[in-house]
Amino acid sequence: MTMLLPSPSRRRLVILAYPRVEHEKDYLYHWMPFSLLTIAQRLLADGDVDVVIFDGNQRTAQEWTAFLDEHLDRAVCVGVSIMTGGGQIRHALQMVREAKLRPGCPPVVFGGPHVNVLGEQTAAHDLVDMALVGPGQRSMPELVRCLLGSGRLEQVPGLLMTRGGQLVKGPANTPKTEMMARYPWQLLNVQEYVRDDPTVAPRTLNYVSSQGCVYKCQFCYELTYQRAWSSMPADPLVQDIAELVEAYDLSGVKFYDADFFVQPRRAVDFCQALAARQLDVAWAASINPNDVLRSRKQRLDLLGSIAASGCRRLLMGIESGSDRVLRDIVRKEITREQAYDVAADIAAHGILGCYTFIVGFPGETDAEVDETYDLLTAISQLTPRPETRVHLFGPFPGTPLFDDALRYGFEAPQTLEGWADFDYYDSQTPWTSAATVARARAHTRLVKQPGAARAEVPA
Ligand code: B12
Ligand code: SF4
């Protein structure tokens, strides 16, 4: 018996949209929407629908209109990713308004870091049909099954929606994300994301190889979200990178994992596998100082392996030069002395360190801020001369320090619309003076000219 299959062009599809993020002026980089690639990977593996991705960082509002003309009639739903800040929520609402002008617009579903902490507030907005809290690769496939006719909305993990004036809630969507698989690169024009990154290499692509973090920095969203750490194992990761290097002639990879080195063993295996493949690819990633301390205890030559595998730059949040702030406010689980020691070790391995500090914590004294600048100055004397960056403390919803900030007089937006223009690059806290802001800006030293840092780092 022959069965009539729907022609591929008539298959249902899911639209996934990444609204534009406004960065600081003269920021050089472009990022792939890994959130959407992660969700798309699972939807495609299930095989019920096609997936198309719209990246607002690469495409204009006019192109969004044309994209809707092309795809909306086949769409089961439109998934939109948002994080707090960067105007992304404002862009998201503009995009959804445009979609909703069309007859037959399918349900619009919001997810992403902002939704993970302010789900109910998001779901309450008129333009949001549903919010999905937690990892989208666990919730989206369930939602799509429901929208295609099997299953009940009440069973979709992390679902929040208002129906008849009542809040409908699905079961908890645990932040455990399981093993990560290869991304469906074919959904994006990868070439568009290759950049000359001054601190890495002329043809650098960004990459996220793990989700979550094990540390407990009290200002950080990762802590709130409690996402269990999961990753790609070293060998498939190196294999994927080898294929990307071959396909796009890459000379660099910049990892945007919250902390690439949570498992020093995986990191060393990665470095060794990368070096063994002789790919001649430079790379960069974020590290917590405790990863270096733990690897020393485990007698793993973490920094040696990192340097030998072509790593050019390690980004590390030190946050403060005051032991009291590190211990009582940030809970960084490290002392000022240990932070300096790790930075010196990184420099001794010929790796460019990029160290970030935060000033303006609630309850921080001027003397403690001075200690931060003293440590920054000491670290700046290292060779190769590190990049240093001073951020202003920004209260992120859901974090322990957000509650402290409220006690110290910070006024938080109360609606999704209210968060639409929240800007973390400007001081938002009433106790932070103009002088503190100006001093932070003056101390930020970044390498912005392509090639400038590479020239400083020994080959
Ligand atoms: C790359 C990146 C950026 C890029 C932009 C991203 C892009 N694609 O263009 C840039 C550098 C521009 C950026 C900027 C900022 N960022 Co940023 N960024 C990241 C980073 C490092 C990686 C994002 C990523 O790809 N993650 C991997 C994916 C797989 O995880 P995910 O995004 O969480 O997605 C999962 C879930 O959230 C959910 N999900 C996501 N989208 C959707 C959509 C739907 C429909 C569903 C159902 C589910 C869902 O499912 C996904 C898969 O599990 C993260 C940290 C991290 N490693 O996650 C921070 C992070 C997202 N950024 C953050 C912040 C705060 C900022 C800034 C506001 C502040 C700053 N100073 O950096 C700025 C904004 C700019 C401004 N002017 O104010 C916070 C967000 C916190 C929050 N409450 O929203 C994070 C989590 C860092 C942190 N630990 O604090 N960022
Ligand atoms: S190490 Fe980085 S990602 Fe992890 S909790 Fe601390 S600030 Fe957040």
Q: What is the pLDDT of residues 282-291, one digit of tens each?
A: 999 999 999 9
Closest CA to 56 of 78, 81, 39, 76: 81
**Lookup result for tokens 């937690």:** 134
Query: If phi over 0 gives left and psi between -120 and 50 gives alpha, with beta otherwise, what is residue 286?
Result: beta
Which whole number is the average pLDDT over 317-328? 98
| Domain formed by 11-169, architecture | 3-Layer(aba) Sandwich (3.40)
Q: Tell me the per-residue pLDDT of 222-255, one tens digit each, with 9 for 90 and over.
A: 887 766 788 899 999 999 999 999 999 999 999 9
Express each pLDDT in 408-438 by its tens digit: 999 999 999 999 878 777 788 999 999 998 9
User: Which of 215, 219, 223, 261 for a ligand 2 pocket mutation test, highest count of atoms within 8 Å of Cβ?
Assistant: 215
Has residue 7 got a pLDDT over 80? no
Task: Give yes or no for residue 317 CB within 6 A of ligand 2.
Answer: yes
Handedness of CA 315, 316, 320, 321 (dihedral sign): negative
Amino acid 5: pLDDT: 42
Three-state DSSP at 195 gives strand
What pLDDT is stored for residue 9 in this prediction? 56
Query: Is there an atom of ligand 2 within 6 Å of 315 CB?
Result: no
pLDDT of residue 219: 95
Burial class (CB in 10 A: 0-12, 13-18, 19+), 425: middle
Closest atom of ligand 2 to CA, residue 221: 8
| Other C-beta atoms lying within 10 Å of the C-beta of residue 271 | 24
Q: DSSP H helical segments within 55-87, as ranges? A: 61-71
Sheet bearing 130-132, strands edge to edge: 50-55, 13-18, 75-81, 108-111, 130-132, 159-163, 166-169
Q: What pLDDT, on a 0 to 100 scale, did the predictor assign at position 442?
A: 86
**What is the b/e burial string over 314-342, where b = at least 16 CB atoms within 10 angstroms of the residue's CB?**
bbbbbbbbbbebbeebbbbebebebbbeb
Ligand 1 centre and the CA of 6: distance in Å? 37
Residue 268 CA, distance from chain mean position: 23
Contact 453, 199 (CB under 8 A): yes
- Name the helix (H) or strand (E) containing 317: strand 311-319
Dihedral sign, Cα of residue 379, residue 384, residue 385, residue 386:
negative
Q: Is the dihedral of CA 449, 254, 205, 225 positive or negative?
A: negative
Q: What are the boundaries of each domain within the chain?
A: 11-169, 194-456
CA atoms within 13 A on the CB side of 254: 21
Model pLDDT, residue 179: 65
**Strand, coil or helix: 148:** coil
Rounded alpha-carbon distances, angstroms, from residue 406 to 266, 365, 366, 395: 40, 18, 20, 9
CB-CB contact of 17 with 80 (8 Å): yes
Q: Is 210 in the pocket of ligand 1 (CB under 6 A)?
A: no
Q: Average pLDDT of the chain? A: 91
Does the beta carbon of 330 lie inside 6 Å of ligand 2?
no
| Residue 57 alpha carbon, nearest atom of ligand 1 | 9
**Mean predicted confidence (pLDDT) in 148-172:** 93
pLDDT tens profile 66-115: 999 999 999 999 999 999 988 899 999 999 999 999 999 999 999 999 99
Helix axes 34-46, 136-147, angle to 10 degrees: 50
Top-confidence residue, 198 or 305: 305
**Per this entry, what is the length of the chain?**
459
CB atoms within 10 A of CB 149: 6
> Separation of 38 CA from ligand 1 center, angstroms?
13
Is the predicted pLDDT of residue 28 greater than 70, yes or no? no
Burial degree of 441 (CB within 10 A; 0-12, 13-18, 19+): exposed
> Residue 57: CB within 6 Å of ligand 1?
yes
Take atom 8 of ligand 2 and give the residue whose Cα is closest. Answer: 220
| Alpha carbon distance, N-terminus to C-terminus of the chain | 65
Residue 137 in contact with ligand 1 by CB distance below 6 A: yes
Is residue 40 scored above 80 in pLDDT? yes
User: Separation of 409 CA from ligand 2 center, angstroms?
Assistant: 25
Query: Does residue 254 have its Cβ closer than 6 Å to ligand 1?
Result: no
CA-proximal residue: ligand 1, atom 18 (nearest): 256
The closest-lying atom of ligand 1 relative to the alpha carbon of residue 224 is: 83
Q: How far is C-alpha 160 from the geometric centre of its chain's CA atoms?
A: 23
> At 428, is the secondary structure helix, strand, or coil?
coil
pLDDT band for 459, please (50, 70, 90 cuts): very low
Kindly state if the Cβ of 416 falls inside 6 Å of ligand 2. no
Residue 446 has pLDDT above 70, yes or no: no
- Distance between CA atoms of 318 and 356, rounded to whole angstroms? 6
Cα(247) to centroid(ligand 2), Å: 33
Which residues, 6+ apart, have CB-to-CB distance to 422 below 8 Å? 84, 85, 89, 413, 428
Specify which residues 211 forms β-bridges with. 230
Which two three-digit tokens encode residue 408?
């110290």
pLDDT of residue 227: 64
**Amino acid 447: pLDDT:** 59
> Rounded to whole angstroms, how far apart are CA atoms 319 and 321?
7
Which stretch of DSSP H or E encloses residue 355?
A: strand 352-359
Structure confidence at residue 451 as a pLDDT band (50, 70, 90) = low
| Residues contacting 371, CB < 8 A, separation 6+ | 320, 321, 322, 336
For domain 194-456, give its CATH number from 2.130.10.10, 3.80.30.20, 3.40.50.800, 3.30.70.120: 3.80.30.20
Amino acid 164: pLDDT: 85
Residue 199 CB burial class (10 angstroms; 0-12, 13-18, ≥19): buried
Whether 225 lines ligand 2, by a CB cut-off of 6 Å, is: no
**Ligand 1 in contact with 206 (CB < 6 A)?**
no
Q: Which ligand is nearest to the CA of 29?
A: 1
Per-residue pLDDT band for 25 (boundaries 50, 70, 90) equals low
**229 Cβ below 6 A of ligand 1:** no
Distance in Å, CA 262 to ligand 2 centroid: 10
Cis peptide before 384 (omega within 30 of 0): yes
Atom 3 of ligand 2, residue of closest alpha carbon: 258
Which residues on neighbouring strands pair with residue 54, listed in sequence order? 17
Confidence of residue 6 (pLDDT cuts 50, 70, 90): very low
Ligand sitting nearest the alpha carbon of 207: 1
Ligand 2 atom closest to residue 220's alpha carbon, by position in its atom list = 8
Structure tokens that stand for 404 in this block: 């402290």
Give 397 Cα–ligand 1 centroid separation in angstroms.
Answer: 14
